[in-house]
Amino acid sequence: MTTAIYPGSFDPITNGHLEIVHRAAKLFERVVIGVYSKPDKNLLFTTEERVDMARKATTKLSNVEVRPFGGLTVGFAREVGAQVMVRGLRMTLDFEREFDMAMMNKKLYPELELVCFMAAQEYQFLSSSLLKEVAGLEGAIDDLVPPPVAEALRKKNQESS
């Protein structure tokens, strides 16, 4: 059985992320979304909240599970028995960053293969950071995230006002 991991901070998970998950779920028997607990980013949501949103967004995908992780991504890949790491690419800048990480990961865990999916055209501009900014300014986000995420973003923004 081929297991793939899809690691990220997912703060929050977007429809762009989910489009990648759906495509990966068609190719691999098992996909584990790894929600990184300690990214070097300013997070809006806790690890538990991010895991919960990702789980709610993927409930209809029987071969997808969501787990939090810390430390090296290759350590997480070994822990879940992954042979593949899935990543989404939106633009050239993503490729450059992913290429550097792929080379380091290959050095640390040679058995782990990287599979990159080009983002669907309607999500090429979408990032969690941009989404949080738009949501914070009360912009329309409902077509960019699953309903539980839109609700969570509105709630967070009301709490901080």
Q: Is 23 a catalytic residue?
A: no
User: Catalytic residue among 30, 50, 87, 128, which?
Assistant: 128
CB 45 within 8 A of CB 86: no
User: Catalytic residue among 90, 106, 154, 156, which?
Assistant: 90
Q: Is 17 a catalytic residue?
A: yes
Q: Is 90 a catalytic residue?
A: yes
CB 153 within 8 A of CB 62: no
The sign of the dihedral angle between the CA atoms of 92, 94, 96, 102 is: negative
- Give the separation between CA 147 and CA 66, rounded to whole angstroms: 18
User: Catalytic residue among 17, 30, 87, 132, which?
Assistant: 17
CA dist list (Å): 47 to 53, 142, 161: 10, 22, 22
Q: Helix (H, G, I), strand (E, B), or coil: what is residue 5?
A: strand
Q: Is 160 a catalytic residue?
A: no
User: Catalytic residue among 26, 41, 97, 155, which?
Assistant: 41
Q: Which residues are catalytic?
A: 17, 41, 90, 128
